[in-house]
């Protein structure tokens, strides 16, 4: 009997996995891992639990809600709290349809399925962007168009390229744009640029899908970082927000997220929400509750909310401080080039500008592991490895 599965080809993992495997085998005591986008403490600890989350977990232990199914749309307090968090007072208007999802990735997937169901299946992506967008869109049969997100020379966004792409976009196109702490570039649209984006998409059959994966890490303030969402709302746009709490609550493996669809008319909300629920039910049935219950406490309890705000700020403070030190050290070492742009990077990532050859040398000669495109997770740098990190950059850049 031959197997039904003999024709299944091997699906190669993302290139990052290769780097991670190589890193895991490396015995060099000085090795540094700045590949994956997770927060690490000064001690290099990636299993760090935010104090606010720790306390919420304690409360859930004392008053155990059990494991029965939740609501079909998710944990209601988590969804409501998520709406309040980013829409503020506007959440009361009833113009936002929201359900819980399997974190940010699941939120994006539901967005893609939902948009496909209303005839939107063309996505504009700024290059470079989060690598997973591509297979996710391809897997639902979506079409991908690209524009240049980042200007390698100025280390700023290439706004002209976005502007051109929006002007030329056919009706029923979606622009997938990261809200803040952009992965992989660490470079975000300014308020002024968001205002221009709003003008450009006004009265066009173009939907913005806003991916919010690093909310709070760009400026240290959730409120400040979510400004663009309230601005687009005020301008009467219809748009989607895909919200992840993996990073800003450190709930990576709990898979806690929400999708919001902002509508012009409250009367559309029930239908849209019911469609989201139906899509989610077909694919996943119920969303995981534990992370959502922790999230609900951080979002709705005044005391825990304040602590959470401080937790987010302390991540921002640490990575900002490290970026400043990297700049100072590279400059002190007289590293060729101007490195000031590291201090301007927003959130966890710094798009170092090291080319493929330099990235390989960092890995092979110095045991410093980063993404192939030169993206560095700043949180992986701390006071005990920063000198070695800067020394290695200086060497590979000087000897190029």
Which residues carry out catalysis?
Answer: 130, 211, 247
Q: Using CB under 6 A, which of 35, 52, 103, 173 touches ligand PLP?
A: 103
Site pattern 19..48 for ligand PLP (x: CB under 6 A) = ------------------x-----------
* Sign (positive or negative) of CA dihedral 115, 117, 120, 123: positive
Comparing C-alpha atoms, which of 290, 221, 205 is closest to residue 256? 290
Q: How far is CA 173 from CA 135, 160, 166, 238, 322, in A?
A: 18, 18, 9, 13, 39
Residue 162 CA to chain centroid, in angstroms? 19
Burial class (CB in 10 A: 0-12, 13-18, 19+), 58: exposed
Nearer to ligand PLP, 361 or 380 (CB): 380
Q: How far is the CB of 103 from ligand PLP (least distance, A)?
A: 3
Residue 183 touches ligand PLP, criterion: CB under 6 A = yes
Size of the residue set binding ligand PLP (CB under 6 A): 13
Residue count (the chain): 400
188 near ligand PLP, rule: CB under 6 A: no
**Contact range with ligand PLP by CB under 6 A, out of 75-83, 99-107, 191-199, 288-296:** 99-107
**147 vs 327 by CB, closer to ligand PLP:** 147
What track of x and - describes contact with ligand PLP for positions 122 through 151 (by CB under 6 A)? --------x---------------------
Residue range at the interface with ligand PLP (CB under 6 A); choices 98-106, 112-120, 264-272, 389-397: 98-106
178 binds ligand PLP (CB under 6 A): yes
- Two structure tokens written together for 257: 């997220």
Residue whose structure tokens are 């490895």:
385
Q: Using CB under 6 A, which residues numbered 234 to 253 contact ligand PLP? A: 244, 246, 252
Contacts of ligand PLP in 202-241 (CB under 6 A): 211, 213
Name the residue whose CB lies closest to ligand PLP. 104
Binds ligand PLP by CB under 6 A, chosen from 105, 325, 367, 371: 105
Q: Which of 387, 389, 364 is nearest to 376 (CA)?
A: 389
Q: Say how far apart CA 159 and CA 162 lie, in whole Å.
A: 5
Which residues in 272-331 contact ligand PLP (CB under 6 A)? none
Instruction: Of 225, 234, 217, 163, give the one whose Cα is nearest residue 190.
Output: 225
Contacts of residue 69, defined as CB under 8 A and 6 or more positions apart, other chains included, come to 286
278: part of which helix (H) or strand (E)? helix 269-283
State the residues that interact with ligand PLP by CB under 6 A: 37, 103-105, 130, 178, 183, 211, 213, 244, 246, 252, 257
């Amino acid at each position: 009997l031959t197997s039904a599965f003999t024709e299944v080809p091997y699906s190669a993992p993302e290139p990052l996995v290769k780097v991670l495997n190589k890193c895991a085998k490396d015995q060099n005591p000085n090795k540094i891992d700045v590949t994956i986008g997770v927060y690490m403490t000064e001690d290099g600890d990636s299993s760090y639990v935010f104090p606010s989350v720790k306390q919420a977990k304690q409360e859930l232990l004392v008053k155990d809600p059990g494991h029965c199914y939740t609501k079909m749309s998710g944990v209601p307090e988590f969804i409501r709290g998520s709406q309040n968090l980013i829409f503020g007072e506007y959440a009361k208007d009833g113009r936002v349809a929201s359900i819980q999802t399997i974190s940010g990735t699941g939120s994006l997937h539901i967005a893609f399925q939902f948009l496909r169901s209303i005839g939107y299946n063309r996505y504009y992506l700024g290059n470079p962007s989060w690598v997973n967008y591509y297979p996710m869109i391809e897997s639902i049969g979506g079409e991908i168009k690209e524009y240049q997100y980042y200007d390698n020379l100025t280390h700023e966004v290439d706004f002209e390229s976005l502007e051109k792409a929006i002007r030329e976009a056919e009706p029923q196109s979606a622009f997938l744009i990261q809200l803040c702490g952009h992965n992989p570039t660490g470079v975000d649209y300014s308020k002024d640029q968001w205002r221009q984006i709003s003008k450009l998409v006004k009265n066009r059959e173009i939907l913005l899908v806003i991916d919010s994966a690093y909310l709070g890490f760009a400026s240290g303030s959730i409120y400040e970082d979510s400004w663009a969402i309230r601005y687009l709302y005020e301008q009467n746009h219809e748009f989607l927000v895909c919200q992840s709490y993996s990073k800003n609550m450190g709930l990576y493996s709990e898979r806690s997220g929400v999708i919001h669809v902002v509508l012009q008319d409250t009367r559309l909300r029930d239908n849209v929400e019911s469609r989201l629920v139906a899509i989610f039910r077909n694919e996943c049935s119920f969303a995981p509750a534990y992370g959502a219950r922790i999230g609900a406490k951080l979002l709705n309890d005044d005391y825990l909310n304040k602590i959470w705000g401080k937790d987010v700020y302390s991540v921002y403070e640490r990575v900002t401080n490290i970026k400043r030190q990297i700049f100072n050290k590279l400059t002190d070492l007289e590293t060729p080039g101007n490195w000031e742009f590291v201090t301007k990077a927003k959130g966890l990532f710094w798009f170092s500008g090291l080319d493929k050859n330099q990235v390989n040398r960092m890995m092979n000669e110095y045991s410093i592991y980063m993404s192939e495109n030169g993206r560095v997770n700043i949180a992986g740098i701390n006071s005990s490895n920063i000198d070695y990190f800067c020394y290695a950059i200086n060497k590979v850049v000087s000897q190029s």
